[in-house]
Amino acid sequence: MISIIAAYDDDRGIGKDGKLPWRSRYDMAMFKEITMGRAVVMGRKTFDSLPKKQPLKGRANIVITRDIATAIRNYEPYRIPIETPQTSIGFASTLADGVQVGRAFGPEVVIIGGAEVYAQALPVAERLYLSHIEGRYGCDTFLPEIDLSGPTWMVARIQTGGGEDGQPKVIFTEYRRQERR
Ligand SMILES: NC(=O)c1ccc[n+]([C@@H]2O[C@H](COP(=O)([O-])OP(=O)(O)OC[C@H]3O[C@@H](n4cnc5c(N)ncnc54)[C@H](OP(=O)(O)O)[C@@H]3O)[C@@H](O)[C@H]2O)c1
């Protein structure tokens, strides 16, 4: 099964200057809960945005790029021994290859962005984990339009959090694709 996890603001913005423009402990906790122990597939630009270009711990990180040789060469200076069990990193040259590699780690492969990769994964995703981060953050990268009110997506759960200590309010919604007809 392919899932998508994304956080977006009031403008459907997801990133600014190659980074997340907000800090949300609640959203980070949800992200960790959903992705931990699973394979996560991301675009090369999202990987570049991770702190010190280190793979997410406890997850099989799969980075997609059209130029694997360059991506690996650029990553080499950051490579350190991985000590956490279940952490790994690999590169794939198509989304389909990335997902196929991810399936070796378990039944649910989670697409973690960014916009270019979300757009390609949406037609094949079975689950969406979406965090609406309240506010406007002047983003330059956006979540593709998704018709969440039509028959395609069914709400499976809604949770809210954040809103204290200057943290943004977050509405987290899990959607499941209805049976394909
Ligand atoms: N709010 C959120 O939930 C969230 C989540 C993730 C990221 N973000 C933000 O989103 C922004 C990055 O998104 P983005 O759309 O600019 O970039 P992206 O989707 O992260 O990465 C795009 C890159 O992925 C590779 N790629 C994409 N499709 C491919 C395919 N079919 N086959 C092979 N390689 C493929 C290409 O890498 P090469 O150029 O190397 O070929 C492409 O340049 C950042 O600001 C980041 O912080 C936000």
Query: Closest Cα partner for 95 from 78, 112, 75?
Result: 112
**CATH code matching the domain that covers 2-177, chosen among 3.30.365.10, 2.40.50.140, 3.40.430.10, 3.90.1300.10:** 3.40.430.10
Phi-psi region of 171 (alpha: psi -120 to 50; beta: other; left: phi over 0): beta
| 49 within ligand 1 shell (Cβ under 6 A) | yes
CB 168 near ligand 1, within 6 Å:
no
pLDDT in tens, 7-30: 999 999 999 999 999 999 999 999
Question: pLDDT tens, 25-82?
Answer: 999 999 999 999 999 999 999 999 998 999 999 999 999 999 999 999 999 999 998 8
**What is the Å distance from ligand 1's center to 150 Cα?**
27
Whether pTM exceeds 0.85: yes
Cα 145 to averaged position of ligand 1 atoms, centre (Å)? 17
Strand order in the sheet with 109-111: 88-92, 60-64, 39-43, 109-111, 2-8, 127-133, 169-177, 153-162
Give the length of the chain.
Answer: 181
Q: Is the CB of 74 inside a 6 Å radius of any atom of ligand 1?
A: no
Q: What residues contact residue 98 under an 8 Å CB cut-off, 6+ apart?
A: 41, 62, 63, 64, 92
DSSP state of 69: H
48 Cα–ligand 1 center, Å? 9
Helix (H, G, I), strand (E, B) or coil at 22: coil
